[in-house]
Amino acid sequence: MNKGKKLKLPKWNEKFIVPSVLSADFGCLKNELKKVEKYSGWIQLDVMDGHFVPNLSFGPHIAGCIKNITDLPLDIHLMVEKPSDFIDAFVEQGADIITVHCESENFENALKSIKKYGLKSGIALKPKTEFKNIIKYIDRVDLILIMTVEPGFGGQSFIYDMLQKIKEVRDFLTKNKLKKYIQVDGGINEITLPYALNSGANSFVMGSAVFNKKDNRKIKKMYNLIYGG
């Protein structure tokens, strides 16, 4: 049981895959996770409330269940209208990282709560949100999540216009010597991953590209794309 145990996270400048369980088969979730663990930096849980995005997904209980069946850190991506209402419950269930959207209500308070618990914090941007909108919050977060699809549903096509935003974030962090993860989420697969990688991202959320396969050849291929194998 890993709940309450601080797990080792990848370094801020490492490149790694983040499987999103939104696309996993929950009928055999433990086996699904075991297949991808050795290729992954951490596991992501996409939390949706049906208000901030037009879909519902998981609550804190599911986070606790996942925490108990994987040796990887757990990243909670809150796609919710009021993220502050969810922080305590997900911390209790063993979250290691919590990411909130800058478009959500009182997200600054949510970031404060995350840091109060000593967790890594992330700030996410929808495709239409400009990077300049979050610059003043950069020193409060460890991760910047650039959505490369509209949040809310898996299996969408990658928005190539987001490559310029990834480059903008990478250039800003490099210029200011800031050590932050740059994560991308949405439509990442063997075709789009090299574009996101070359634009400066280092954390790659993947759902349908790695789960619901008869074997793990897909994730092996993308792992090799990242590491040049």
Distance CA 29, CA 74 (A): 15
| Cα-based torsion angle of the residue sequence 47, 49, 51, 52 in order, rounded to the nearest 10 degrees | -20
Can 46 be counted among the known catalytic residues?
A: yes
In which element (H, E) is residue 218 found?
helix 217-227
SS3 label, residue 108: helix
- DSSP H helical segments within the chain, as ranges? 29-36, 60-67, 87-92, 107-116, 162-175, 193-199, 217-227
The one-character DSSP state at 213 is -
Which of 46, 49, 75, 96 is catalytic? The answer is: 46
Which of 75, 96, 142, 185 is catalytic? The answer is: 185
Residue at 224: amino acid letter: N
Exposed/middle/buried for residue 144 (C-beta within 10 Å: 0-12, 13-18, 19+): buried
**Structure token pair of residue 174:** 């490099």
SS3 label, residue 74: strand
Can 49 be counted among the known catalytic residues?
A: no
Active site residues: 46, 185
